[in-house]
Amino acid sequence: MKPRILNFGSINIDHVYRVDHFVQAGETLASDSMSTVLGGKGANQSVAIARAGGDVRHIGRLSEADQWVSTYLEASGVDISLLESVAEPSGHAIIQVDRNGENSILLHGGANQGFENASLESAISEYNSGDYLLLQNETNAIAHAFDLAVSQGLKVVLNPAPMSNDILSLPLEKLDTLIVNLGEAQALASQDALDQVVDTLAAKMPETRIIITLGERGVVLVNNGDVTKVDATTANVVDTTAAGDTFVGYFIASIVDGLKDLEALDRACRAAALAVESFGAMPSIPTLDQLES
């Protein structure tokens, strides 16, 4: 039987504004358009796993007023049996996308910050050695979920986005896989130069598969002391939002599907490249059919 994937992560309603440039301090700027779409690093990664053909169960919290979110996630193939419907507002994000397709994101955690240890204990206790727990950094109680999963023999995959100081105190050497962008990697290593970042993280986490994404410069994989560079897939950038989430979801789904690291990275890079070619977070995540057509 294939390992199962449990994703403990955020669900946000994204309010996305197209702008010429990011609004500056003291400036009032008219946007060219506005749309409201589903997002959140956690939910995006669950949808990416599902669209990559994987089975994923999502531990999440959202407002009882936003039931369309559960419907959307379920229709996308995510197991929503561990979603809590709560009285608090859902998490949301205000996202500016500039003329180059780059984004700037302001988050409000809302329901994503209200997880209780007991519900995590109950959810994780259903999983066994060899199953995967995926974590990002937009919910509370990550350290507790990490400890529980490790003590039950689960493989923990961490995408510490957005980076914060709390991440530095996690037992990162116990991770199965760490997936970071360059800024996150630099923060974890307290180094700037990529070579030094790689050496420092490899020494800190000798048994962890470390993946550093470098945008259009590709990806660096560090595994068992070997460092491999993978080129990015070229893309016509429209909106980079959720490219990283697409990469993470596709990579894990591909590993669970039995692909080797480099094959999984190739698939994840191609999926992320397709994601940046269309607008929005979750709507831009491709299906495996789209990727292979």
Report in angstroms how near the CB of residue 213 gets to ligand RIB at its nearest.
Answer: 12
Would you call 245 a catalytic residue per the annotation? yes
- How far apart are the C-alpha atoms of 156 and 149, rounded to whole Å? 7
DSSP state string for the chain:
-PPPEEEE---EEEEEEE-SSPPPTT-----SEEEEEEE-HHHHHHHHHHHTT--EEEEEEEETT-HHHHHHHHHTT-B-TTEEEESSPPEEEEEEE-TTS-EEEEEE-GGGG---HHHHHHHHTT--TT-EEEE-SSSS-HHHHHHHHHHTTPEEEE---S--HHHHTS-GGG-SEEEEEHHHHHHHHT--SHHHHHHHHHHH-TTSEEEEE-GGG-EEEEETTEEEEEPPPP---S--TTHHHHHHHHHHHHHHTT--HHHHHHHHHHHHHHHHTSSSSGGGPPPHHHHH-
14/66 with CB nearer ligand RIB = 14
Q: Which of 14, 66, 245, 266 is catalytic?
A: 245
For ligand RIB, the closer CB: 42 or 54? 42
CA distances from 117 to 12, 144, 168 (A): 21, 7, 21
- 84 forms bridges with which residues in the sheet? 61
Measured from the CB atom, is 42 or 148 closer to ligand RIB?
A: 42
What does the binding site for ligand RIB look like in residue numbers (CB under 6 A)? 10, 12, 14, 39-41, 44, 93, 105, 138, 241-242, 244-245, 281
In this complex, which beta carbon is closest to ligand RIB, that of residue 105 or of residue 238?
105
CB of 71 to ligand RIB, least distance (A): 18
Instruction: Please give the residue whose beta carbon sits closest to ligand RIB in the complex.
Output: 39
Please, what is the minimum distance in Å from the beta carbon of residue 77 to ligand RIB?
Answer: 18
Residue 239 C-beta: closest distance to ligand RIB, Å: 10
Q: Is 42 helix (H, G, I), strand (E, B) or coil?
A: helix
Least Å distance, CB 138 to ligand RIB, is 6
* Shortest CB 243 distance to ligand RIB, Å: 8
In terms of Cα–Cα distance, which of 67, 121, 53 is closest to 257?
53
Q: Which is nearer to ligand RIB, 53 or 283 (CB)?
A: 283
79 vs 138 by CB, closer to ligand RIB: 138
- Rounded CA-CA distance 271/220 in Å is 17
Catalytic machinery residues: 245
